[in-house]
Structure 1
C-alpha cells in the first residue's frame, strides 16, 4: 500500500526538520572529543583528523552527486542522506576504536553533503504560499542552525545524563528513523528522468567572476576555518585554557557562532550585496581577534562575545560572497561555481584545524590557537582590502566609460 501524500504545510515542515536533524547529527560529537581522547588515548592531531574526515565525506557527496536530485528526484536522494545519517549514528554507538570514529564522521559528512544541496532545493520548492518569500531563509536556518544545536544538545546530554558517549547518538538514530517514515509521504517536487546519466558535478569559475570569487572565497576560507576551530577544538579551549570542564558549556560555544551566523543570514536583506560583504569581512576579523584575545586571557566571556561577532561576520560574508559571485555568472554556470565555492569552504573547515592540532601538540594549545586566529583575521582583512580596492577600481572604470560616452 502506497504511503499517504502529505499536504504542502506538513511536507514543508517535515523537510525543514529533516534538514536540521541531519545537520544536527554532524556536530553531536563536538563535546565528546575530550572523552574519546582520554578513553582511546589518541593525540590532538588524531582528534582533528577525526573531525576533518567529516569534510571529506561532504566534499565527496557534493562533487559526486550534487546534481543527481535534479535528474532522479529530491526524495530518493533525501532518503539516502537520512540513511547515511542513521548508519553514522549507529557506528558511533559502537565506537571503541579510532578507525570507527573516522568511519562515523565520514558517513555523517556524506549525509550532510547530500542534504546541503538537495534539501535546500526541496525546502524552497515545497514551500506553501505564505512561506514562498522566506523558504530560502528557512533552509539556511535549518542548515546552519542545526549544526549549532547539535553540539549544544549533545553537551547537555553528555554533562547531565548517563551513557555520555552513547545517548546522543541513540536519540538521533530514533529521530532519523521517524523522519525516514515521514519523508516517504512527502510529495516529489521535480519530474525524475530515469534514463538520464548520473555524472559528477563539474567545478569551474568563469573568467569574469574569478577576481570576486578569489576575494569571496578568501573570506569564506577564514570564516569556515573558524567554524572548524569551534566545532573541533572549542571543547579543549574551554577545558584546557579557560579551565572549565563543563561539557554543556563547551557544547554551547559552537551554537553561539553558528546561531549568530544563521540568524544573520536569515535577516539579511537581498540588496546591498557589496556593502554587507565588506561589513562581514570586518566583523569576522574583529570577532576572530576577540577569540584570540580570549585564548590569551583565558576568558570565557570574551570567547562567547568573539564567537557571536565572528558568527555574524561569517554568516554575512558567506551569504553575500556567494551572491556576489553568482551575480557575475550565467545561470547555467551557477551550480558549478557554487560547487567550487563549497569546495573551498569545506577544505577550510578541515585542513587548518588539522594543522592546529599538530601545532598544539608541538607548542601548546594557547599559542597555537592565538596564531590560528591571527592568521584567519589576516585573511579576512586581506579579502576586505581586495574587495574594497576592486570596487573602487570598478567605479573608476565605470566613470571613464561614462565620460567617454
Structure 2
C-alpha cells in the first residue's frame, strides 16, 4: 500500500515531454508542475503532521489513498495545465499523509523483534515505490496504447486494491481523537539541536534538490539532447536514482550515522559532478552514473541526517524537529527546481543545470567540511 501511494507521486515523470507536446508549455512550466507536489507535502507536514497520531493510522491512510485516487482522476481527465497542477497538488497531499503514517504503521505492525526489518521494509516501500512510478509509466507509455491515460488507470486500480487491503489491517493507535483535534504543527529547533541540524538540513536539501531536478528535467534532456525517445528507457534512468537511494539508506544503517553523513556528502558531491559531466558531454553513460552515484549519496546522507537529528532532539520535541527536517528537504524539491526552470529559457537546459550543480556543490562541500571539522575537534553531535 505504501509503495503504491509513493509510485503515484512519480508516475508522470517520463510523461512530461508528451504533456509538453500535448499542451505546448515551456520547461519552466514543467518544473512548476513538478514542484507543486512538494508544496502539497509541506502543507500537510505543517498543517496536519500529527493526523495519524490523532485520528489513527487507518483513517489517515484512507485519506491518503483518497487523495491519490483523486490525483489519478485529474490526470485521466487532463485537458490543460490546471488539471496537471491539481493532480500534482493532490499527489503531494497523499504523500504528505503517507510518509509519516505508513512508516509508523509498518513498524507498529512488525512482529516482536522485527523493528530493524520493519525499518528496512518501510524504506524500501518508500523509495522503491518512488522508483517504480516512472518505470511503470515509461513501460506503459512505450509499449501499450494511450500513454497519457493507461498509467493512471492502472494506478487507480492499484489504489482501489490498496483500499481493500487497508480494510483488513488492524488499527494500532489506541487513543484516537476526532478530526477537530488535529492541530497545525510548528517547526521547532531547540538550541541544543542546531549544531547537528544545520549540516543535516543542508545535506538533505541538496540531496532532495538533486532528485527534484533529475526527475523533473532529465526526461526532456534525454529526449532533446541525447535523442533517447524510448519512454521505458527514460523511466528506467529516473528509477535507478530512487533504487540507488534505497541501497544508500540500507548501507547507512550498517555504517552508522556518524560516518554516513560525511560519506553521503562525499558521494552526493561525486553524483553532482557526474551530472555536470552528463550535461557538458551529452553522454548517456554519465546520466546513468549520476543517477546511481547521486541516488546512493542522497540515501546515505538523508538516513544519517534523520538519525542524527532524531538522536539529538529532546524526546518531547523530536517529532517537531523531524518535521522541520522534512520541510527543509521538500523545499529542496521545489525552489531549486523552479530556479532551473527560470534559467532554462535564457541559458538553455544544460546551462541552467550547470548553474544548479555549481550551487549544490558549494552547499554539499560546505556541509561536508563542517562535519569533518567537528569530527576532528571532537565536538558532540559531529
Shorter-chain TM-score bucket reads over 0.9
The aligned runs of 1:345-384 (5 Å cut-off) are: 345-384=329-368
Conservation of the 8 A alpha-carbon contact between 2:34 and 2:88: yes
Whole-Å separation in 2 of the counterparts to 1:215 and 1:52: 24
Conservation of the 8 A alpha-carbon contact between 1:58 and 1:109: yes
Aligned residue pairs, count: 380
1:323: which partner in 2?
Answer: 307
Conservation of the 8 A alpha-carbon contact between 1:262 and 1:315: yes
2:2: which partner in 1?
Answer: 19
Deviates more, 1:54-63 or 1:111-120: 54-63
Moved beyond 6 Å, runs of 4+: none
The aligned runs of 1:309-320 (5 Å cut-off) are: 309-320=293-304
Whole-Å separation in 1 of the counterparts to 2:302 and 2:74: 32
Q: 1:136 aligns with which of 116, 119, 124?
A: 119
* 1:293 and 2:277 aligned: yes
* 1:58 and 2:77 aligned: no
TM-score by length of 1: 0.91
1:48: which partner in 2?
Answer: 31
Q: Deviations over 1:344-384 (max 9, x none)?
A: 01110011111101111111111111221222122111110
Q: How far is 1:270 from its partner?
A: 5.4
2:15: which partner in 1?
Answer: 32
Conservation of the 8 A alpha-carbon contact between 2:203 and 2:301: yes
SS of 1:387's equivalent in the other structure is helix
Q: How far is 1:52 from its partner?
A: 0.6
Unmatched 5+ stretches in structure 2: none
TM-score by length of 2: 0.96
Whole-Å separation in 1 of the counterparts to 2:68 and 2:52: 18
* 1:201 and 2:201 aligned: no
Q: How far is 1:38 from its partner?
A: 1.1
Q: Deviations over 1:27-48 (max 9, x none)?
A: 0000111111111111111111
Conservation of the 8 A alpha-carbon contact between 2:123 and 2:246: yes
Q: Deviations over 1:279-334 (max 9, x none)?
A: 10000001110111011100101110121111111000000011112221111111
Q: How far is 1:394 from its partner?
A: 3.3
SS of 1:83's equivalent in the other structure is helix
Conservation of the 8 A alpha-carbon contact between 2:251 and 2:300: no
Larger Rg: 1
Q: How far is 1:246 from its partner?
A: 1.5
Whole-Å separation in 2 of the counterparts to 1:24 and 1:294: 26
1:403: which partner in 2?
Answer: none
SS of 1:184's equivalent in the other structure is helix
SS of 2:225's equivalent in the other structure is helix
1:147: which partner in 2?
Answer: 130
* 1:75 and 2:75 aligned: no
Aligned Cα root-mean-square deviation (Å) = 1.5
Deviates more, 1:176-185 or 1:271-280: 271-280
Q: Deviations over 1:150-196 (max 9, x none)?
A: 01110111111100000000000011111112201110011133367
Whole-Å separation in 2 of the counterparts to 1:63 and 1:280: 27
